[in-house]
């Protein structure tokens, strides 16, 4: 059976960069999990999204890395709805609900054609020591002393937020992927999300993301992790009430895949987080057939 697969880049900065994803619009294919996994492995992208009919929402989406299924993927969701918009199947200024293994979430197509995904509300979990994390980044523990905690945060997927002092240090890091895999297994996280607020423009932070446990050594744009990062920065007093609605994160520059992730929080009158969302543009849409 030949399966039609679209490939495109989500969170692209202009026509360059972004994070490649596969999207399958099933349209009656009724693929099983083994077939989805085979397609994802064949494509080799960090995630492939499979869109299905849902009894609970407008769409159901399942996400597969080359190695396994995951509950949610931000950039593959942006890719899926960016594709629908480009094909004329979705309209600007419209919201959709999606059924995922991380729950029912909302997707919005903005008036400018950007796609925004609402994530689960943040959970602020274990804080880890510099001494435990530093060797996996081939750093000394003192190089990770920033005044901010190393902490597991989730807005649908658990990631370890790791503050880095400077952009220079961030881009010099040569990770030990075996050690990161072991720590990811120990704490049941997807991976590491490194960030520095030392940026060359108005971006809130520049980031690198390592998820070798899921066969993703480094990812050029990570939607869920940056939603979690914005929540973390607000939680730890790094963003004011007026500085969380429209935030930009840089990622992928160390890979020559410049990406721009837009993020925002909506707050209650008392300052509690009511909504987390991330968004961006898509580029480079191509169509291919995969034989399974």
**pLDDT tens-digit series, residues 197-250:** 999 999 999 999 999 999 899 999 999 999 999 999 999 999 998 899 999 999
- Shared domain for 98 and 153, answered yes or no, is no
Region of residue 65 (left: phi > 0; alpha: psi -120 to 50; beta: else): beta
Please give the Cα distance from 40 to 56 (Å, whole number): 25
Confidence of residue 252 (pLDDT cuts 50, 70, 90): very high
Catalytic residue among 15, 26, 47, 185: 47
Phi, psi (5° rounding) for residue 36? -60, -45
Give the residue-averaged pLDDT of 60-77. Answer: 93
For residue 1, the tally of other CB atoms under 10 A from its CB is: 9
- Shared domain for 29 and 87, answered yes or no, is yes
- Shared domain for 232 and 217, answered yes or no, is yes
Query: Going by C-beta distance under 8 Å and a sequence separation of 6 or more, which residues neighbour residue 151?
Result: 124, 125, 126, 127, 128, 160, 161, 232
The reported pTM is 0.89
- Shared domain for 243 and 178, answered yes or no, is yes
Q: Does residue 159 fall inside a structural domain?
A: yes
- Shared domain for 219 and 107, answered yes or no, is no
Which residue range is the domain that position 58 belongs to? 2-120+281-291
Q: What angle do CA 22, 23, 25 make, to 5 degrees?
A: 155
Query: Going by C-beta distance under 8 Å and a sequence separation of 6 or more, which residues neighbour residue 13?
Result: 258, 259, 260
C-beta separation of 198 from 167 below 8 A: yes
Please give the Cα distance from 202 to 250 (Å, whole number): 10
Write the pLDDT tens digit of every residue in 114-154. 999 999 999 999 999 999 999 999 999 999 999 999 999 99
Confidence of residue 111 (pLDDT cuts 50, 70, 90): confident
- Shared domain for 201 and 247, answered yes or no, is yes
| Residues forming a β-bridge with 104 | 99
pLDDT, residue 113, reads 84
For residue 153, the tally of other CB atoms under 10 A from its CB is: 24
DSSP string, the chain: -EEEEEEEEESBBTTB--EEEEEEE-TT----HHHHHHHHHHH--S-EEEEE--SSSSEEEEEE-SS-EES--HHHHHHHHHHHHHTTSS-TTEEEEEEETTEEEEEEE-TTS-EEEEEPPPEEEEEE-HHHHGGGGT--GGGG-SSS-EEEEESSSEEEEEE-S-HHHHHH----HHHHHHHHHHHT-SEEEEEES--SSS-SEEEEEEEGGGTEEEES--HHHHHHHHHHHHHTTSS-GGGSSSEEEEE-GGGT--EEEEEEEEE-TTS-EEEEEEEE-EEEEEEEEEE-
- Shared domain for 239 and 204, answered yes or no, is yes
Please give the Cα distance from 276 to 228 (Å, whole number): 8
Confidence of residue 86 (pLDDT cuts 50, 70, 90): very high
Count of domains forming the chain: 2
pLDDT at 112 over 90: no
pLDDT, residue 57, reads 97
Confidence of residue 258 (pLDDT cuts 50, 70, 90): very high
Q: What is the CATH number of the domain that holds 208?
A: 3.10.310.10
Is 47 marked active-site? Answer: yes
- Shared domain for 204 and 245, answered yes or no, is yes
- Shared domain for 134 and 113, answered yes or no, is no
By CB atoms closer than 10 A (0-12, 13-18, 19+), residue 178 is exposed
Whether the CA torsion 86, 105, 57, 94 is positive or negative: it is negative
């Amino acid at each position: 059976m030949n399966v039609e697969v679209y490939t495109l880049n989500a969170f692209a900065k202009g026509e360059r960069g972004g994070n490649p994803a596969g999207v399958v619009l099933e349209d009656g294919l009724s693929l099983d999990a083994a077939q989805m996994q085979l397609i994802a492995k064949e494509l080799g992208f960090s995630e492939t999204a499979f869109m299905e009919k849902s009894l609970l929402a407008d769409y159901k989406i399942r996400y597969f890395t080359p190695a396994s299924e995951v509950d949610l993927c931000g950039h593959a969701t942006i890719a899926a709805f960016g594709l629908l918009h480009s094909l004329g199947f979705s309209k600007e200024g419209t919201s959709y609900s999606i059924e995922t293994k991380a729950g029912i979430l909302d997707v919005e197509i903005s008036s400018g054609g950007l796609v925004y995904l609402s994530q689960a509300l943040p959970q602020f979990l274990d804080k880890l020591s510099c001494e435990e994390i530093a060797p996996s980044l081939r750093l000394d523990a003192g190089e990770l002393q920033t005044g901010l905690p190393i902490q597991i945060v989730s807005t649908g997927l658990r990631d370890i937020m790791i503050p880095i002092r400077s952009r220079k240090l961030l881009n010099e890091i040569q990770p030990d992927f075996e050690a990161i895999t072991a720590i990811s297994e120990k704490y049941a996280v997807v991976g590491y999300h490194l960030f520095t607020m030392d940026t060359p423009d108005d971006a809130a932070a520049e980031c690198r993301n390592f998820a070798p446990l899921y066969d993703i050594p480094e990812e050029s744009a990570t939607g869920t992790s940056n939603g979690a990062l914005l929540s973390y920065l607000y939680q730890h007093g790094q963003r004011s009430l007026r500085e969380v609605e429209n935030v930009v994160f840089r990622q992928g520059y160390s890979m020559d895949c410049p990406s721009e992730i837009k993020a925002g929080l909506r707050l209650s009158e008392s300052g509690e987080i009511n909504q987390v969302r991330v968004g961006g543009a898509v580029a480079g849409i191509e169509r291919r057939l995969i034989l399974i």
